Structure 1
Amino acid sequence: MKVWDSVRKMANMESVNNTWSSVMQWMVQNATARTLDRIVGKILIAATTYYVWQERNNRLFSSVQRTPDMLSQVIISTVRLKIMGFKIGNDRKHRNVLETWQISMKNLDCDPG
């Protein structure tokens, strides 16, 4: 719950609460969306699911544990790196997403369109 509460804000998903049904409802509504903010939201859900599952396994099968803050930072870093690999156009909506994720346009392969 703590991890989701901290990472969902990065993708403007505050309305998606910490229940599986809420996350799945968002996914169904945005499954075919191709806007940058929705793509980032889908990546965020995938990364969060993966790392929380990994953390669950670590806690069950080894003595390695991360705090919710550490796990949130791993997720945010992973999504940020994925975004940096995108070819992104230079429009206002894209700039807002990049600003939220603290990514500079000069570090990207930009589409001038």
Structure 2
Amino acid sequence: MRPRLWERLKVMAKLDDISYVWGEVISGIVNKAACNSIWSIVQRLLFGLVVYFIWQERNFRVFQKCARSGEALFSLIVETVRLRLMGLKILRVSPAVKEASLI
């Protein structure tokens, strides 16, 4: 995983305590308590999207011989998180939800 991309994403999702080493990232996410707080939802959603888009980028580079910039990946991941959060009907308006909506 690109450290600069992960650094920017993990700050946005309040995952400052998570490492850059892939195995430690996975164990850090798995060991975090899953609850229905907005930040828990954002963190789990972000992690899944990072895995998916990094895998997709790898396939683009290997099979189509094209690559997206780190900035393009960052924008794509953030926009996808935003759209998924907008689609959730379980969110109640709270200060944390308002803060998360700035992502």
TM range, normalised to the smaller chain?
0.7 to 0.9
Matched, 1:20 2:30: no
Counterpart-to-counterpart distance in 2, 1:8 and 1:53: 18
Q: 1:73 aligns with which of 72, 75, 94?
A: 75
CA-to-aligned-CA distance 1:14-73 (integer Å, 9 cap, x gap): 221221222222222225322110111010000011001110111111122101111111
Counterpart-to-counterpart distance in 2, 1:93 and 1:29: 22
Instruction: Tell me whether 5-14 or 77-86 shows the greater mean CA deviation.
Output: 5-14
2:99 paired residue number: 96
| Stretches (4+) displaced over 3 A | none
Q: TM-score, normalised by structure 2?
A: 0.86
Matched, 1:43 2:62: no
CA-based RMSD of the aligned residues comes to 1.5
Count the aligned residue pairs: 100
| Secondary structure, counterpart of 2:101 in structure 1 | helix
| Secondary structure, counterpart of 1:89 in structure 2 | coil
2:7 paired residue number: 5
Q: Larger C-alpha radius of gyration, 1 or 2? A: 1
C-alpha distance 31-54 of structure 1, shift in aligned 2 (>3 A): farther
Identity %: 28
Give the gaps of 5 or more residues in structure 1.
Answer: 102-113
Give the gaps of 5 or more residues in structure 2.
Answer: none
Higher strand proportion (structure 1 or 2) = 1
User: In 1, are the aligned partners of 2:34 and 2:40 still within 8 Å (CA)?
Assistant: no
Q: TM-score, normalised by structure 1?
A: 0.79
